[in-house]
Chain A
Amino acid sequence: MSPRAAWRLESLGFSEVYDYVDGKNDWMSAGLPTEGTNAQHPRAGDVARKDVPTCALTEKLGDVKARVRAQGWDAVVVVNASRVVFGLLRAKELEKDPELLIEQAMRPGPSTFRTFVALHEMLHKMVDHKLESSVISTSDGRLVGLLLQEDVAAALEKDK
């Protein structure tokens, strides 16, 4: 629809008109700042834990579990060298056979969510679906962080 606006502006005499075809969705999906009423409230990308542990497909579950637990976490995101998300291990997956490779033990292709999703929407969904955590990623699939339900609730309380 922005093409119609661009062409109409040209017909109205504007001589240099550009069309940002990927639009606001692209801009926000890239985690870039916006202005407006929503921008004044924290969103998923603001609250997601950027320091969530990560691991590779070919690592051994036992090794990863030891490392993750030593860091005080019970979740780890499986990524490649470009931080593209391949899988997720929560407490249940971490308790599997330690000899398994990560790619055998992980939950493959987890749902991920954009940085700009409103916190109250995420909390509502995480409670309804009984999810303690959700992966936040960019539109090209790269890990931003892990959003914890407890952090979302705390941030919403603070934002009141």
Chain B
Amino acid sequence: MPKEIRREEVRKLVAAGAQLVEVLPSPEYEEDHLPGAIHVPLRKIDSDARTVLDGGRPVIVYCWDTA
């Protein structure tokens, strides 16, 4: 079960090597994304996640907010 985390934990996990993934579509990602975040829009998770992401490292996903 994916674990819900807050901002501070995001920073710690990224510092320890976790991959950050933004799942919003293109205009939103290009305008602003968290430093180092990889772009895998939600509809592309199925096709791209295994090739774009490292399965051996933790992954943190995020959107705009809880909506």
Enumerate chain A interface residues (CB-CB to B < 8 A). Answer: 1-10, 12-28, 30, 32-39, 116
Enumerate chain B interface residues (CB-CB to A < 8 A). Answer: 1-7, 9-10, 13, 18, 21-24, 28-37, 40, 42, 45-46, 49-50, 53, 55, 57-67
B32 and A20 contacting across the interface, CB-CB below 8 Å: no
Chain B neighbourhood of A4, CB < 8 A: 42
B50 and A12 contacting across the interface, CB-CB below 8 Å: yes
Give me 16 A-to-B residue pairs in the complex whose CB atoms sit less than 8 angstroms apart, sorted by A's number.
A5-B40, A5-B61, A6-B61, A9-B2, A14-B55, A18-B2, A18-B59, A19-B61, A20-B10, A22-B7, A22-B65, A23-B64, A23-B65, A24-B22, A24-B32, A24-B64
User: How near does chain A come to B27, taking the closest CB pair, in angstroms?
Assistant: 10
Chain B neighbourhood of A7, CB < 8 A: 2
Q: A2-B62, A17-B2, A23-B64 are in contact. Are A39 and B32 (CB under 8 A)?
A: yes
Which residue of A12, A17, A27, A116 contacts B58 across the interface (Cβ within 8 Å)? Answer: A17
A2 and B32 contacting across the interface, CB-CB below 8 Å: no
Q: Which of A13, A15, A22, A34 has the most CB of B within 10 A?
A: A22
